[in-house]
Amino acid sequence: MSWFDESRLDDEVALGAADLRLRTLAESGARVRREAGGAAEATAIGVTQSQDSRPRAVIAAGPDSRLLRAVLEPFCPVPFVAWPGPALPGWAGSLDLVVVLAPVGSDPGTASSVAEAVRRGCQVVVACPPGSMVAEHAEGRYTTMLPIVTDDALAAAVVMLSYLSQLGLGPEAEADRVADALDDVAISCSPLRDISINPAKMLAICLADANPLVWGGSVLAARAARRVAESIRRSSGRTALAGDAEHLLPVIEATRARDVFDDPFDGGLPGDLRPVLVVLDDGADDPVVRENRGRLQAAAAGRGVRVETVTSEAPGEVARYASLLLTGTYAAEYLRLGLVD
């Protein structure tokens, strides 16, 4: 049975053992800048060649297509389709633009989708490592290759979104803004910062004796919630759920209400861990978002379920998404660090 030792979060020896993982998180902003700089020339050439021809539709292919959909769907002036499977829609053809994120570049399904797009004469934009399997299958007359040298999916997405923004197919997605937001999180969540002023360490402590329910109101915040829940599951082996309000409400409502006579220091059995609601707030002020947040918070208050809120005021939707995701990922790593057998 594992238990959480919060003193490890400020212990130099314990932090040293986790240095590689924490350093990888801290370098997130640098990777975005590196990828944006490395792809700048290819982006400029591709934009110049494509800016006079608006596609009939945009198809985001491959397993990372849902992130592009979350950003582009509300803004894209032409029909937009996310197609995560290993093929393309039957109607896709020479009038359509196929965009693909392949930061690793070795996925056979993604390579197959790109090859099919080239064969059909589609306009193709691929962010992938030069010389990779996907790059080889993407070679064609109407292909724009955005070179990627790291396997960072977020950095690759920022490169692609910047390209599409310059074509008028998506919102502004400046790499520098995203990188600055990631750097701000790396500073505030640094292992060198004490627990009392470190939001990621404080969140990890709140998750230590609970099963997290992670919720984001906007489309991008909801995607960040799913990614954060995945990180928590990987780092702790515990149940961590992410979903819409109607999916999380039954879990909260089924929780035994707090009793005034409960021992506050009794954590119970591992299987009896109470939920904690983690709200990822990117500033979305949509009436539906406000209503769902209110329902979740009211249900949590009625059952004595703790609510933790992670906020971001970074400029731009993509920057706020990146900020929320990195903060949650830091918290997951600190949770891993504090859990001992």
* Max avg pLDDT among 51-65, 174-188, 257-271: 174-188
Q: What band does 269 get if pLDDT is binned at 50, 70 and 90?
A: very low
pLDDT tens-digit readout, 294-334? 999 999 999 999 999 999 999 999 999 999 999 999 999 99
pLDDT of residue 271 exceeding 70: no
Query: Is 3-18+191-340's fold the same as 30-174's?
Result: yes
Q: Are 334 and 340 in contact (CB under 8 A)?
A: no
Q: Are 58 and 79 in contact (CB under 8 A)?
A: yes
Q: Does domain 30-174 have CATH number 3.40.50.10490?
A: yes
Phi and psi dihedrals of 18, rounded to 5?
-100, 15
pLDDT tens-digit readout, 11-61? 999 999 999 999 999 999 999 999 999 999 999 999 998 877 889 999 999
Angle at 193 between CA 337 and CA 316, to 5 degrees: 95
Average pLDDT over residues 74-85: 90
What is the residue extent of each domain of the chain? 3-18+191-340, 30-174
Q: Which of 42-56, 106-120, 266-280 has the weakest average pLDDT?
A: 266-280
pLDDT of residue 282 exceeding 70: yes
Q: What is the pLDDT of residue 84?
A: 86
Q: What is the pLDDT of residue 50?
A: 84
CATH superfamily of 3-18+191-340: Glucose-6-phosphate isomerase like protein; domain 1 (3.40.50.10490)
- Residue 119, Cβ neighbours under 10 Å: how many? 11
pLDDT of residue 270 exceeding 60: no
pLDDT of residue 227 exceeding 70: yes
3-state secondary structure the chain: CCEECHHHHHCHHHHHHCHHHHHHHHCHHHHHHHHHHHCHHHHHHHHHHHCCCCCCCEEEECCCHHHHHHHHCCCCCCCEEEECCCCCCCCCCCCCEEEEECCCCCCHHHHHHHHHHHHCCCEEEEEECCCCHHHHHHCCCCEEEEECCCCCHHHHHHHHHHHHHHCCCCCCCCHHHHHHHHHHHHHHCCCCCCHHHCHHHHHHHHHCCEEEEEEECCHHHHHHHHHHHHHHHHHHCCCCEECCHHHHHHHHHCCCCCCCCCCCCCCCCHHHCEEEEEEEECCCCCHHHHHHHHHHHHHHHHHCCEEEEEECCCCCHHHHHHHHHHHHHHHHHHHHHHEEC
The pTM of the full predicted model, rounded to 2 decimals, is 0.92
CA gap 99, 117 in Å, rounded: 10
Between these two residues, 264 and 314, which has the higher pLDDT value? 314
Mean pLDDT, the chain, as a whole number?
Answer: 92
Give just the sign of the alpha carbon dihedral 203, 206, 212, 215: negative
Q: What band does 264 get if pLDDT is binned at 50, 70 and 90?
A: low
Q: Which residue has the tokens 């592009």?
A: 68
